[in-house]
């Protein structure tokens, strides 16, 4: 690999990991704001999103510049393509963290609502998926990425359960309907964060193995289990 290309790829790796850390922190702070009804913390998440957006644009520009100047092939090309896609997913994770924070701002100004679903557990699982997907990128570990993909069904099931719980709670406490709907929306955003973590894991597999598993992840995972 030419020295200049090596430097560019190393820089892209550092940039995408920095963005990943920023997105992960935004999710952590937004979910903490929901759990503690901390409107000030939520507002900080919202205000900090501009920095994350700027980083996402910088990474895209650097990827395109590297493609144009060096015309990489094989594994180097796969790496840059994967970074471009992961970059977009992380920007969306930042946006979803803002959405959760906006729900927190509203809920912090309302009377507390006694709901039986465990938002904290769902938040921890979504954050864990995001963390492991980024770890699989750092470690270039396809097995770790496959584990993230397998975790997505659990988050989907939790989101469906939250919908049922909120639906029942609205009938019992109609005066709290708006707050309950904001909590349901926050859970939905967590489910979408988990989806983006899954996307990142799929892109890591592509980067390492050159296999596109999007839309057929289940078949791919079954093949790997029986291999």
Give tens-digit pLDDT for 127-144.
999 999 999 998 999 999
> Residue 82 and residue 121: Cα distance in Å, rounded?
30
CB neighbours (10 Å) of residue 61?
A: 10
CA torsion 198-22-160-125 (nearest 10°) is 80
Query: How much is the pTM?
Result: 0.91
Read off the pLDDT of residues 149-163 as tens digits, 9 standing for 90 and up. Answer: 999 999 999 999 999
More confidently predicted of 186 and 6: 186
Read off the pLDDT band of 221 (50, 70, 90).
Answer: low
Contacts of 135 by beta carbon, 8 Å cutoff, 6+ apart: 141, 144
| Cβ(89)–Cβ(134) below 8 Å | no
> Cα–Cα distance between 86 and 88 in angstroms, integer?
5
Would you give the DSSP letter of residue 214?
T
pLDDT in tens, 34-48: 999 999 999 999 999
Label residue 223 by pLDDT band (50, 70, 90).
low
Question: Sorting pLDDT into bands at 50, 70 and 90, what band is 4?
Answer: confident
Q: pLDDT digit string (tens) for 57-102?
A: 999 999 999 999 988 888 899 999 999 999 999 999 999 999 999 9
- Read off the tokens for 196: 């983006």
pLDDT at 225: 53
Please give the CATH topology (third level) of the domain spanning 3-226.
Methane Monooxygenase Hydroxylase; Chain G, domain 1 (1.20.58)
CA 197-203-206 angle, to 5 degrees, is 150
pLDDT at residue 40 in the model? 97
Distance CA 108, CA 99 (A): 14
On the question of pLDDT at 220 being above 70, the answer is no
Token pair for 144: 């770790």
3-state secondary structure of 38: coil
How much is the pLDDT for 71? 87
Lowest average pLDDT, out of 68-77, 113-122, 199-208, 211-220, goes to 211-220
Instruction: Report the percent of the chain where pLDDT is more than 90.
Output: 76
Cα 93 from Cα 135, distance rounded (Å) = 16
**How do the domains of the chain map onto residue ranges?**
3-226
Specify the length of the chain in residues.
227
Rounded CA-CA distance 12/41 in Å is 30
- Give dist(CA 199, CA 86) in Å, integer: 8
Q: What is the mean pLDDT of the chain?
A: 91
Q: Looking at residue 63, what is its pLDDT?
A: 96
Predicted pLDDT at 222:
53
pLDDT at 73: 86
pLDDT at 6: 87
């Amino acid at each position: 690999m030419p020295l200049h290309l090596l430097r560019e790829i190393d820089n892209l790796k550092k940039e995408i990991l920095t963005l990943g850390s920023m997105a992960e922190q935004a999710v952590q702070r937004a979910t903490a704001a929901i759990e503690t009804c901390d409107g000030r913390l939520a507002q900080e998440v919202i205000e900090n999103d501009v920095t994350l957006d700027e980083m996402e644009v910088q990474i895209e520009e650097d990827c395109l510049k590297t493609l144009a100047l060096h015309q990489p092939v094989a594994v180097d090309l796969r790496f840059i393509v994967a970074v471009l896609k992961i970059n977009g997913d992380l920007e969306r994770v930042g946006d979803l963290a803002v959405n959760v924070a906006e729900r927190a701002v509203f809920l912090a100004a309302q009377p507390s609502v006694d709901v039986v679903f465990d938002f904290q557990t769902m938040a921890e699982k979504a954050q864990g998926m995001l963390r492991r997907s980024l770890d699989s990128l750092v470690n270039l570990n396809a097995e770790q990425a496959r584990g993230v993909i397998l975790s997505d069904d659990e988050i989907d099931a939790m989101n469906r359960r939250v919908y049922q719980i909120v639906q029942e709670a609205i009938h019992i406490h109609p005066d709290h309907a708006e707050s309950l709907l904001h909590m349901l929306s926050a859970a939905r955003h967590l489910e979408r964060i988990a989806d983006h973590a899954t996307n990142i894991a799929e892109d890591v597999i592509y980067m390492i193995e050159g296999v596109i598993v999007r839309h057929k992840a289940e078949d791919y995972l079954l093949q790997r289990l029986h291999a």
